[in-house]
Amino acid sequence: MNLKISALDYVNEVKNGNISVEDFVFATIERIKKIDGSLHAFLEVNPQAVENARIIDKKIKSGTKVGDCFGMPISIKDNICIKDSKTTCASKMLENFIAPYDATVISKLKEQDAIFVGKTNLDEFAMGLTTEFSAYGPSRNPWNPDYVPGGSSGGSAVSVSAYECVASLGSDTGGSVRNPASFCSVVGFKPTYGLISRYGLISYANSIEQIGPIARTVRDTAFFLNILSGLDPNDNTTIDLGKQDFLEDIDSGIAGKKIGVIQEMIGEGIDPTVLSATKEAVSKLEGLGATCEDISIDMVKYSVASYYTITATEAGSNLARYDNLRYGYEFPVEGYEFNSYISKARTKFGPEVIRRMILGGFVPSSGQAGKYFLKALKVKSKLTKEVSEAFKKYDYLVAPTVPILPFKIGEKIDDPVALFLVDINTVIANLTGIPSISIPFSISNGLPIGIQLLAKHNDDKSLLQAARALETTVKLPEVPI
């Protein structure tokens, strides 16, 4: 069974009767059993997956209408709720939490007959960019298991890269879909804020985070956007772009388009091989008929501080609900005073979550808000203006997704500020709400490099066309696992 096929090829193979859903899903589960012990992409594997596949095969044989996914095996980041399934956020705090409802994205995938093969690993509550902050141990990069796979949707990216599923859903608050996509050599997409409902995504920083697909190809990404996008009465931040077919005209190319190369993202601190790959990408974009010019976005250098100030503030508020009273782990209340009980219960949070909660209490507090939180909002506002100005002149912006190569597990875990700076190229899409995509572009010393393209608000379809054009110029080796 060829588990390496794209989502669109999978659909065609099943439609044409060349493969059965049961055989494909069974082979997928067997692969997970065989290799996930060394990669740790999954926190839980769905024991019903093969049975669900049989049901879809029966629907196909009986001529009953089948959804667009045709039983496609998909993995889901473990901060997205699937009814009656464990949703742990990779935290001991939610070790036994069973979601009482489906996230909107899950409902939409169920309607299209997707099969969920399992829940994937992440940094605890999506706070991190290496998956090392998972309370259940790190995921490992399939290109080299000694290296981080990126994060926080590291398990999702690993599962797609290592052929443990056809596609996955992650969440992207500051690059958490694009960063691991880049490190694992798969496609990761952060849509315009509001294009995909966040209902059922466990909140970290509501004002900037989005659910996004991780897939093998840009065309697969467009396929999933067709399913996942749209207004949701349960999420008032969703936007109405009308009925768009993101796959239509995806091969229309970028001839005549203007692209800005963000200088602040290829400057100080960039790995030389990443810089070289970026120059090669720019050359290829020009070869496709686009015009590329250098552009400066001054606020980029303050964007990481702004991002962490805003996200910590929102996290401090969002995580206040974890008092172990309404849900949480087994810990009797007898013998405790109210505040000491909550403090004791919260020792189940990992160190990074604790740090960000304290930051989230500090930066908006009386006497500090003007210096930190309000200034962060002002940077966000000015950055948004600068990016809007850039899009008056350019159709797209380009930069490396991450300025450095994947690094060894444990290498940066004790230096939070060094980890902050890995986010510098991805956070602007979240702070400004614009769409952004990471495309596998190069392999250097056996480690992947991704290129990031960005477009203006609501230009997700056009962005996919540009990404598809760049993708056609790239031929990469297969993952060595």
Partner 1 sequence: MVNEEEIEQVAKLMKIDVHDHKEFVEKVHNMINYFDILDSAGVEDEEFQIRDLPLTHLRTDRHIPYEEKLIERLKHYKGTFVRAPKMI
Which residue from 283, 343, 388, 472 is in contact with partner 1, where contact means CB under 8 A? Answer: 343
Q: Is 77 a catalytic residue?
A: yes
Q: CB of residue 342 vs partner 1: minimum separation in angstroms?
A: 4
Distances (CA, A) of 259 to 13, 79, 144, 392: 37, 35, 33, 11
Q: What secondary structure does DSSP assign to 52-97, as a single string?
A: HHHHHHHHHHHT----TTTT-EEEEETTB--TTSB--TT-GGGTT-
Among the residue ranges 72-80, 169-177, 343-351, 436-444, the one whose residues contact partner 1 (CB under 8 A): 343-351
145: Cα separation from own chain's centroid: 20
d(CA 46, CA 29) in angstroms, rounded, equals: 9
Q: Taking each helix axis from N to C terminus, what angle separates 49-62 and 21-39, rounded to the nearest 10 degrees?
A: 160
Q: Catalytic one among 75, 107, 153, 176?
A: 176
Q: Site size for partner 1, by CB under 8 A?
A: 59
- Which run of H or of E encompasses 294? strand 291-295
Dihedral angle sign, alpha carbons of residues 269, 274, 276, 280: negative
Among the residue ranges 22-30, 102-110, 303-311, 422-430, the one whose residues contact partner 1 (CB under 8 A): 303-311
Q: Catalytic one among 20, 75, 77, 306?
A: 77
Q: Is 176 a catalytic residue?
A: yes
By beta-carbon proximity to partner 1, the closer residue of 68 and 386 is 386
By C-alpha distance, which of 120, 106, 111 is closest to 150? Answer: 120
d(CA 430, CA 251) in angstroms, rounded, equals: 27
371 binds partner 1 (CB under 8 A): yes
By beta-carbon proximity to partner 1, the closer residue of 358 and 476 is 358
By beta-carbon proximity to partner 1, the closer residue of 217 and 311 is 311
Among the residue ranges 40-48, 166-174, 268-276, 350-358, the one whose residues contact partner 1 (CB under 8 A): 350-358
Spatial contact of 20 and 57, defined as CB atoms under 8 Å apart: yes
357 binds partner 1 (CB under 8 A): yes
Which residue from 18, 64, 287, 417 is in contact with partner 1, where contact means CB under 8 A? Answer: 417
Q: What angle do CA 175, 177, 183 make, to 5 degrees?
A: 90
138: Cα separation from own chain's centroid: 16
Q: CB of residue 323 vs partner 1: minimum separation in angstroms?
A: 8
By beta-carbon proximity to partner 1, the closer residue of 292 and 319 is 319
Query: Which residues ranging from 226 to 265 are in contact with partner 1 (CB under 8 A)?
Result: 233-234, 236
By beta-carbon proximity to partner 1, the closer residue of 36 and 314 is 314
269 binds partner 1 (CB under 8 A): no
338 binds partner 1 (CB under 8 A): yes
358 binds partner 1 (CB under 8 A): yes
Tokens for 402, please give them.
Answer: 């991450």
- List, in order, residues 6 or more apart from 327 with CB less than 8 Å away: 94, 97
Which residue from 293, 333, 388, 393 is in contact with partner 1, where contact means CB under 8 A? Answer: 333
446 binds partner 1 (CB under 8 A): no
- Which run of H or of E encompasses 317? helix 300-318
436-444 vs 42-45, strand pairing mode? unpaired
Spatial contact of 116 and 76, defined as CB atoms under 8 Å apart: yes
Q: Is 6 a catalytic residue?
A: no
By beta-carbon proximity to partner 1, the closer residue of 163 and 349 is 349
300 binds partner 1 (CB under 8 A): no
- Which run of H or of E encompasses 444? strand 436-444
Query: Which residues ranging from 374 to 393 are in contact with partner 1 (CB under 8 A)?
Result: 374-382, 384
d(CA 74, CA 108) in angstroms, rounded, equals: 13
By beta-carbon proximity to partner 1, the closer residue of 269 and 289 is 269
- Which run of H or of E encompasses 450? strand 447-455
Which residue from 365, 393, 408, 446 is in contact with partner 1, where contact means CB under 8 A? Answer: 365
d(CA 107, CA 113) in angstroms, rounded, equals: 10
By beta-carbon proximity to partner 1, the closer residue of 85 and 465 is 85
Tokens for 422, please give them.
Answer: 């890995």
Rg (CA), the chain: 21
By beta-carbon proximity to partner 1, the closer residue of 145 and 416 is 416
Q: CB of residue 416 vs partner 1: minimum separation in angstroms?
A: 5
Which residue from 137, 325, 388, 472 is in contact with partner 1, where contact means CB under 8 A? Answer: 325
Spatial contact of 153 and 201, defined as CB atoms under 8 Å apart: no
76 binds partner 1 (CB under 8 A): no
Which residue from 316, 403, 406, 435 is in contact with partner 1, where contact means CB under 8 A? Answer: 316
366 binds partner 1 (CB under 8 A): no
Residue in the block written with tokens 């007959």: 113
* Chain residues in the site for partner 1 (CB under 8 A): 98, 100, 233-234, 236, 299, 301-302, 305-306, 308-309, 316, 320, 323, 325-328, 330, 333, 336-344, 346-347, 349, 351, 354-355, 357-363, 365, 371-372, 374-382, 384, 416-417, 420
Catalytic residue IDs? 77, 152, 176
